[in-house]
Amino acid sequence: MPTIAIVGAGPILGLSAGKIFGSKGFKVALVSRTQENVDKLAAELAELGVEAKGFAGDVTDSASLESAFTRVREHFGAVDVVSFAPVTKTPNVGVDIVGPEAMTVENTQAQLDVQLHGAIRTVRQVLPEMLERGSGTVLFTTAYAAVEPLAFVANFGIAGSAVRYYARTLHSAVADKGVHVAHVSVNAYINTEPGTEADTIAQLYWEAYTKRDEAELIFQTS
C-alpha cells in the first residue's frame, strides 16, 4: 500500500485529503505540531476504515520535522505522496495577517517561516528518496491570495506567492525525473456554502496525483 504524508494536517482540508487518499488504498501519515490533534484525525480516519497514524512535527523546526518523517518511515515505509498545507500558529486577520501598511519584518518573517521555509523543509525530507527511485508526488496548497493579490492579507499572500513560485520551479526541475509537483490554490471560504465543502476541494489533490499533467490547479466556485 502506498503512503501519503499530510503535513499541516487539520480537521478541514487535511482530514478530507486523508479520506480521499485513504479510500483509494493509501496509508495516511498525519503530521502537525500537536500529537493530540493528529491522533484525533487518525481516529476519525480509522472509523472510515483508513489506516492512519499521527506524528507530531513542526514545519518551523527542522529537527522536529525530520524526527516526524523518521517516525513516518519507520511505521509506514517510503512516502509516495506529500501534501503540504500548514497555517500559521495564530492566523488572526488584522493582527498576525495584515495589509501592506501594517507589514513588518517580524510579521512577514512569521508567515514565510511557516509557508515557504516549511515547504522547503518538508521537501528536503522526501525529495531525495523520490528522485532516487524515480517516482513521487508533492502537492502544495495555498490560499488564492498567492495568485491574486489581496491587500488585507498582504504578508500572508506574499508568503503564499513564494510557495507558489517554489512549487512551479520545482515542478519544472523534477518533472523529467519521475516526480510530479503541483500547486493547488483555493479561492473559496471552505465549508461556507454549497460547493465549497472540504471533501469537494480535496478531489483536486486526487486529480493532481492521478493525472500528473498540470503544475497548478485552482479551486473556485462558479
Domain residue extents for the chain: 3-220
Q: What is the mean pLDDT of residues 2-24?
A: 96
The arrangement of strands across the sheet holding 3-7 comes to 52-56, 27-32, 3-7, 81-84, 136-143, 179-187, 216-220
- Torsion, CA 53, CA 54, CA 55, CA 61, rounded to 10: 140
Say whether pLDDT at 90 is over 90.
no
Q: What is the mean pLDDT of residues 50-60?
A: 97
d(CA 53, CA 161): 31
Q: Which of 83-92, 144-153, 202-211 has the lowest mean pLDDT?
A: 83-92
Say whether pLDDT at 44 is over 70.
yes
Q: What is the mean pLDDT of residues 38-51?
A: 97
Can you give the pLDDT at residue 200?
A: 93
The percent of residues above 70 in pLDDT, for the chain, comes to: 95
Q: How confident is the model at residue 91 (pLDDT cuts 50, 70, 90)?
A: low
Q: How confident is the model at residue 172 (pLDDT cuts 50, 70, 90)?
A: very high
Say whether pLDDT at 61 is over 80.
yes
Can you give the pLDDT at residue 93?
A: 58
Can you give the pLDDT at residue 195?
A: 85
Q: Confirm or reject CATH 3.30.365.10 for domain 3-220, answering yes or no.
A: no
C-alpha cell at 136: 513521487
Question: How confident is the model over 135-148, as pLDDT tens digits?
Answer: 999 999 999 999 99
d(CA 108, CA 2): 37
pTM: 0.94
d(CA 159, CA 91): 13
Strands 27-32 and 52-56: parallel
| Average pLDDT of the chain to the nearest whole number | 94
